[in-house]
Every structure is written in C-alpha cells, then in structure tokens.
Structure 1
Amino acid sequence: MIATRIGKKSGVPDNYTRLGEYIAAAEEKGEKLHQFWIRNCDAGTKIEDLDLALLEIEAVRRQKPDIADKTYHLVVSFRSGEQDKLSKEDLMAIEAEYAKALGYSDHQRVAGTHINTDNFHMHIAFNKVHPETLKVITPHRDFKILAKVSREMEKKYGLAIDPGMTDGKARDPNKLSPAARDYEAHTWQESFQRHVLKHREEILEGLWKAKNWREAHEVLAGYDISIKLRGNGMVLMGPDGQAMKASQLDRSCSKKKLEERFGVFEARKDRRQAKSGQKVRTNHRYKPRPLVLHRNTPALWRRYLSTRKVMPRQPSLAARALRNWKMFLLMEASHDPLAMVLILSHKEFLSFLSTERTRAQETFVKGHKTTNLLYQ
C-alpha cells in the first residue's frame, strides 16, 4: 500500500464539492467505481446521498472563510489483485484507521475505491473543519503517520508490503536530488543529502524544539550542517561544499516557514566569536564513506584512505583518479578480486535504487495522474 496526500495546487481554489463528485464518478478513461461511502454526515452514507452530503459539508466549511485549504485528500494505492482480498467492510475499516491516526475520526468525509486495469486505489476526501468544534486539523509530519498505518494494515489484511513514497526507507532514495544522485553514481560514496536524510527524524525533532536561530544553528551543527541563504530560499551546506534545499529536508524547513518561527534569518556566528563553553559538538559528522557496506569493504576502504593520505600535492592523473572511491575500485579490480566484488555490489545497489525510484514514480503517476484537475 502506498498512502499519499495530494496537496492543493498553489493558486487553485479548494473545491471540495468537485473532489467529492470526482470520487463518486470515477471519471478517468477505463476507470470504474468499485465501492463508495460517506462518513459523519446527517444526509446519509450512500452514493445517492452525495448531493445533500456535499451541501452539508460545504455549510460547515463556509464557517471558516479565512482558511484557504480545508481539504485533506488522501490516496491509498494497492497492488494488483488486492481488491479481491478486501470486502467493503475491510476497506471502510482501513479508511477508518487512517482517519483515526490523522485525527479525522469525527470529521466529515467522502471515500471511494476505483479500479483502472491493474491499478486499484482508494480516494478519501476529509473535511479538515470539525463539524461541531469548527477546529481545523492539519496533521504534523503526516508522512510518518501514513507509513505506520500502511504497514499495520498490510499485516492485518495479509497485503503485499510496499513501503512506497511515504515510508522512511523509501524516502531516502526517492528524495535525493539529481545532483546528489549524480555525486553517488560518480563517486560511489554517500552524498551529503543522504547523510542529512539518514538523520532526518532527529534533525526535525531538534528543530521543532528550537526557539531561535542560534538554537537552530546548534541543532544543525550537531550533524555537520550549516544553513545559508541562497537566492530566494535557504540551503543546507555540508563541509565539502555539497548542498541541498532546506525544504527538501521538510516543508517546515523552507525559508518562509523558518522565518515565521525565528524571525529574519541570522547567520551563525563564527565559532571563534562564541563564548567559552558554547562550542557545539558534532555528534554525526559528515565524512566520505562507501555507499554500499559489504563484509569486504573495511579492508579496501582503509587502503583507499591510506593511498589518499600519501598522494603528492600536485598529483599525477592516476593519483587524481584515486581521490574517487569508484575509480580506486576500478583500478584495484585488475589485481584484487575483492575490489571486483565491491564493484558488482555497488552496481547492483545503484540499479536497485533506479528501479525502485522508477516503480514508485510510475505507481504514483498511474494512480494520480488526474489530481491536478480535482480542485478546478
């Protein structure tokens, strides 16, 4: 199962009625409605009650005129053939688990499942405005919630385990920028962005607790990260000059979001200017390391590092090549079988990442290729 929130497009009005009608109609070519239900509306629970239910939902939403985004649209994609394993009661129970975990158990919603050849998926349109309290609920770090519920439902109903695009393990390779992927493909060493994403949860937790820019800089410094202005946004910088957009770590780390919390950006003071006792310890330093860990890696990696240490300041072409772990392995392969083993391991790993990224993107596109039109 891949659970994905479909965000509202910037500049496009939030049209809940249009989305509800889309779910009920299954408008796409070759697509048909499988199951449909409505929750927490006095109008009823069936498809014939939809028109009245949408009027009821809109009446609640109109009481929050200042809120631009009042819809939480969730799409849950299943593997081919899994529709035969799940009854309507099962699907409703799965939907209820997502609602509970997101804080929407008592919220109005329209839900339905669509079948399009081998692509079976569920749409859930939550009204973020509570029908009684009128409190608007927006889940924090919902990707983690969605991944947790997905794994629980896969286990409970005997479904294929599919980490997809919301699970922590899948987010790492799929979130890497083209520059980071190119760095890893060229060097076979862990990119700075992978280092950051590996510690993502800890970093976000630390930033969430920070009260000002000084504390935010201290959190990031603990992972060998500095944050700087670049263009109209912010970037996270590594000690070797690699960089990634701050918003790639999380949307809450965009320049706009951080300045809303901490005020206008303040650069980190030079460590030499810091008072005694304020020096930040780097617990998770970013340093060159092999992209793939193998039982044969340590010995060759030590040899590689030793070779780099003794390289002359003005190295030859061969010596310059040895600054790169990939080139070192290729040069060693002619006389060291262990190097060839590592070469094959790295190629297999990079091929796996490419296949997984392509499959996740294809699954996402097949299931949601029309969502750009849903709010129009």
Structure 2
Amino acid sequence: MRSLKKSDFAGLVKYITDEQSKTERLGFVNATNCEADTMQAVIGEVLATQQLNTRAEGDKTFHLIVGFPPGENPSEDVLRDIEERLCAGIGFGEHQRVSAVHHDTDHMHIHIAINKIHPTRNTIHEPYQSYRKLADMCEMLEEEHGLQRVNHKSARTLSQGRANDMELHAGIESLVSWIKRECLEEIRTAKTWEEMHQVMSDNGLEIRQRANGFVIESEDGTQVKASTVARDLSKPKLEARLGAFQETEAQAERKAKRRYDKRPTRFKVNTTELYARYQEEQKNLTAARKVEWNNARGRKDRRIEAAKRSNRLRRSAIKLMGGSRISKKLLYAQAHKALKEEIQS
C-alpha cells in the first residue's frame, strides 16, 4: 500500500474510516488501547506516542489487512475476536490500533492500523516473519469459527503478494496483473532482445537490468520484477533464451498500442445495481446541495436588503429630526429592531 501513500498512521486511519460517499463501504470502526473518545483525538494520541520514540528510523505504523472469501460475512463478534487474536498473535496485543470493516469489494475485509510503538515502554515492535505466524493463526480461527478454509501458505513471492493485496483491498489493478492480461504472451514470443524491447515499447513498458535481475517499468514509473510476472522472465531464463542482455537502442517516437493505467479492478460480482444506486444517491445529494445553496443565497439577499433599509431609515431620521439626540437614539433603536426581525425571518 505504500505506493498509495497509506503508510503514515494519520493518513491510513483517515483512509480506512472514510465512507467515500458509499453506503456499502464502511462497517464497524473500533479503536483499541486508546484513551481518546473521538477518532481525531485517537490519531493525535497515537502520533504523540510515536513521537516519544526518537530512535526508530523506519515506519512506525503496521497496516494489517484481514480478508474473507466472496460471500463470507462473519458476525461482528466473530470479526472482533479475529482482529484481537491476530493482533495479539504477532505481538501487538497491547499496542494502540484502529480497525475498520470494509464492504466495498466482493471480499469483505478488515483494515487494521497498528502503532508499532508500545504505549508505555515506547519501544518499537517489528514482528518476525509475521506472514507465517498469521497463516497458522488463520487456519486455527477458520476451524474455530466455522469459516471457509483458505490456503494461506502459498508459494507466491512477496512482490506478488503485495500486488494481490493492492488489487483485493485497494481495488486497483496491479502492473503484474495488467502485463499477464495484456501482453505476457507477446513478450514470450520475442526471439531477440531487439524484439523484446519492441514488444515492451508497444505496450508502454521498458525492461532493464537491476542488481542481479530484470525489472519492467511502465510509463508512470510503476516497477515490478520480471520474475514476479512469470518465472520464465527471470534473468537466467531470459538470457538462456535471448543471449546476454542488450540495452535498447534509441527508437523513433512511436505511440504505444496500449499502456498500463491504475484502473479499478474488475469485480467478480455484478456491480450494475450498486452503481445505479450510487448514481441516484449522488443525484439526490446534488439536488439537496442546490436547494441549500439557494436558501442560503436568499437569506443573504434578505439581510443585505434589510441593512440597506435600516441605513436609509437612519439617514432620513437624522435629516427630518434636525439633529435631536433623543430622536436619533429612538430611531436607531427602531431601525435595529426592524433589522433584527428581518434577519430572523
């Protein structure tokens, strides 16, 4: 999620607790081990705790996402038990955290923003191989709560896992998935490095050497290891097929046939009805705002007109009464009363 700027605690909490004008997005929200009673105050409390640790140089926020298979909607009590036990299982049981359930994808999921800094000891906790520990705990919790069994110990690489997380919980298609869907077969047909660079160029991509392997980069700067896209794109296998790596030669400007764009993923459920409901809600919201704006403008116009009448009355009073101090005060009071009544109406 780092590419989406969600790694800082304040930004992360605002993201996971924002309904984003979607009636289906947000479920229960809960703050744990915090004294504050409002979300803004909770954020301030956590940030103050993080400031007390001046030695830690890395990220002080841990973003844990707990997802469920399509169609599975555990009760709130079950969700709370899962959240509490998973956090405790990786050493964050006493740490401050904010949890929010999201329903805006076909996989219901819980976002958990955890402060890595302990609230009393002010030390930072970095779970060791948390994925392995979480996988074991998930299997246990699935059995206890009668949930669908899922294979948590897959052979996916870390990069592939992050790409899948982004798609599943941020709703954005990853570069890995886009390449597999749009041009992986084209890439595999290249017989020389020249052809390889041409295929990459046609798809708005570039392949180049990085450390001991290859990376593929899109025009917007998004990068992925070539071996994450497919094992046969690793450096040893590509060089065995195409020879030693050759840099691309300067080519004439040419429009790519297609290019990667961070678009929403294609959901497995039919979202036509939800989108129609969203459009209707937006239409009603716009109409309500227009009515409120017109009412506010009407109130403003009435106040301006009342003030003008009051000023005209004062000027007339001064002119007609010949400077009588008592009369002036009386008429000022009358004008002020009339203005107040006009504003209240």
User: If the length of structure 1 is used for normalisation, what is the TM-score?
Assistant: 0.42
The structure with the larger Rg is 2
Which is bigger in relative contact order (C-alpha 8 A, separation at least 6)? Answer: 1
